[in-house]
Amino acid sequence: MLEIIRQPWPWYVSGTLIALIMALLLFFGKSFGFSSNLRTICTACGAGKKVDFFDFDWKSQHWNLLFLVGSVMGGVISMLFLQTNEPLKLSAATIHDLKNLGIIFDGQINPKQVFSFDFLMSIKGITVLLGGGFLVGFGSRYAGGCTSGHAISGLSNFQTPSLLAVAGFFTGGLIMTHLLMPFIF
């Protein structure tokens, strides 16, 4: 059994479980949306004293912070107990394209070339990691949600704004991947 769980899960299993997590949170009286946590953390750090946007009762979001803590723990559990030694089965076309960008596929979840302290210590590295994070944080709050809030919760409820947001996610992703990354890497 554990041997089966250790293998990468097929998309239909993963997609089904994500929908069930959304259902579970609804049953708990909450709504699935991860990026709200970023606002909550800002407020918990005292941002509400200076900026109105962060002046709200963040304790009401306590549950979501617990969900966040759980997700980190889920990552730890996967790393410790649910790994195989097999390399990620990335498509040959992607391996080829990344090679042209100078990023060599190493079979891990993330390229060591980008997610290492060596890269972080370079000007390019700190710009990519800090700047990329900035865009995600700024963009998700501006759009009022991220992949979980818009693509999963919002689309499931036929929200046109969420469809616009998801169209935006892909527009941005395609611009970065095809137009900007050749200049960045």
Site for other proteins in 128-167 (CB under 8 A): 128-148, 150-162, 164-167
From 116, 123, 124, 182, residue interacting with other proteins (rule: CB under 8 A): 116
Distance CA 61, CA 64 (A): 5
Could you say which of 99, 104, 110, 122 contacts other proteins (CB under 8 A)? 110
Site map (CB under 8 A) of other proteins, residues 1-40, x = contact: ----x--xxxxxxxxxxxxxxxxxxxxxxxx--xx-xxx-
Rule CB under 8 A: is residue 115 a binding residue for other proteins? yes
What's the min distance (Å) between Cβ of 20 and other proteins? Answer: 8
Contact pattern for other proteins over residues 46 through 85, marking x by CB under 8 A: -x---xxxx-------xxx-xxxxxxxxxxxxxx--x---
Taking CA atoms, 13 is separated from 10, 89, 163, in Å, by 6, 17, 24
Give the distance between the most distant pair of CA atoms in the chain.
53
Choose which of 49, 59, 86, 91 interacts with other proteins (CB under 8 A): 91
Cα gap 90→108, rounded to integer Å: 10
Give yes or no for a contact between 169 and 147, defined as CB atoms under 8 angstroms apart: yes
Sign of the CA dihedral with 22 first, then 28, 30, and 33 last: negative
- Site size toward other proteins (CB under 8 A) is 125
